[in-house]
Amino acid sequence: MELVKNLKQSKLIKFVFFALIGSIVLAISSKIKIPFYPVPMTMQTLVILLIGIGFGWKLGLATVTLYLFEGIIGLPVFSGTPEKGIGLIYFTGPTMGYLLGFLVAVYFSGKFIYDNNLIKNFFKLLLATSFIYILGMIWLGSLIGWDKPIFQLGAKPFLLAELFKILIVSLTVNQIKKIRKLI
Q: How far apart are CA 136 and CA 49, in angstroms?
A: 17
Q: pTM here?
A: 0.92
Distances (CA, A) of 74 to 26, 78, 90, 140: 16, 10, 9, 22
As a whole number, the mean pLDDT across the chain is 93
Distance CA 89, CA 73 (A): 10
| Bridge partner list, 41 | 34
Count of structural domains, the chain? 1
Q: Residues 95, 78: contact at Cβ < 8 Å?
A: yes
For residue 143, what is the domain's CATH number? 1.10.1760.20
AA identity, residue 66: L
Tell me the pLDDT band of 3, cut-offs 50, 70 and 90: low
Which structural domain, as residue segments, surrounds residue 39?
2-182
Whether the per-residue pLDDT at 2 is higher than 70: the answer is: yes
Model confidence pLDDT, tens digit, residues 56-86: 999 999 999 999 999 999 999 999 888 888 9
